A and B are shown apart, each in its own frame.
Chain A
């Protein structure tokens, strides 16, 4: 199994509070991604990173920011959580060519915003 961990695994927070989710990998992979999973929507990309301090927006980036100061860590921050951000968040990593193009996912973080 790919070495990806996410913390926390579960979190309940109140509307308006800041929240940071952490993704940690031990594979030294270049690319890291944050997705959210919601019923009826599958997985949608929030942000991704293609190297330390190199990040870009995905399909549903509004209300989220990310940072990557080390290869192994990719942080997702909700500056002011809203109920619409209640979701399951998955981090993924991907090795660059020529190794493989598939993504491997962390165990997920279930976030509830009340």
Chain B
């Protein structure tokens, strides 16, 4: 069965700390896609990144970086030098090919205090 686990329910950090959000997935698909979404307090869901299963190259975008490790079925998300604006719920998701829906983890609530 497909499943996404975000073991950290809530994380609290102080501004400028680095923080890593964990995501572990299970899938039977040989080709699949992994995603991270951000949901700020305003409630909208914002797409952050997609990673293809056949591309294990890590990615960095500004203060955000993602570490994909197929061997451990993990797709972790690190925020460097966190800021108050990073406070949000972050969702990891997995999807297969074609039009299959995404399977979401339950989310990690990140609180960054000044």
Whole-angstrom distance between the alpha carbons of A70 and B45 in the complex?
25
- With A40-B106, A42-B91, A43-B104 already in contact, the answer to whether A88 and B43 are too (CB < 8 A) is yes
How many of A's residues come within 8 Å of B, CB to CB?
26
Tell me whether A94 is interfacial, beta carbon within 8 Å: yes
A102 touches B47 (CB 8 A): yes
Please measure, in the bound complex, the distance between the C-alpha atom of A94 and the C-alpha atom of B37, giving whole angstroms. Answer: 14
A105 near B101 with CB under 8 A, answer no
Chain B residues near A35 (CB, 8 Å)?
Answer: 101
Q: Number of B residues contacting the other chain (C-beta, 8 Å)?
A: 20
Main secondary structure of the interface of B (DSSP, over half): loop
Report B68 CB to chain A, min CB distance, Å.
15
Specify which chain B residues have a CB less than 8 angstroms from the CB of A105 in the assembled complex.
37, 44-45, 47
A residues 14-48 with Cβ under 8 Å of B? 30-31, 33, 35, 40-45, 48
User: Assuming A43-B91, A102-B35, is B45 touching A48 (CB within 8 A)?
Assistant: no
Q: Which of A47-78 contact B (CB under 8 A)?
A: 48, 50, 58
Of the candidates B44, B99, B104, the one whose C-beta lies within 8 Å of that of A94 is: B99
Q: Which residues of B contact A90 (CB under 8 A)?
A: 45
Given contacts A30-B99, A43-B93, A105-B37, 11 further A-B contacts (CB under 8 A): A31-B99, A33-B101, A42-B105, A42-B106, A43-B45, A43-B104, A48-B101, A50-B99, A102-B50, A103-B47, A107-B43
Q: Which residues of A contact B (CB under 8 A)?
A: 30-31, 33, 35, 40-45, 48, 50, 58, 88, 90, 94, 96-97, 100-105, 107-108
Can you list 13 A-B contacts with CB-CB less than 8 angstroms, sorted by A residue number? A42-B106, A43-B45, A43-B93, A43-B102, A45-B101, A58-B101, A101-B50, A101-B97, A102-B47, A103-B35, A105-B44, A105-B45, A107-B43
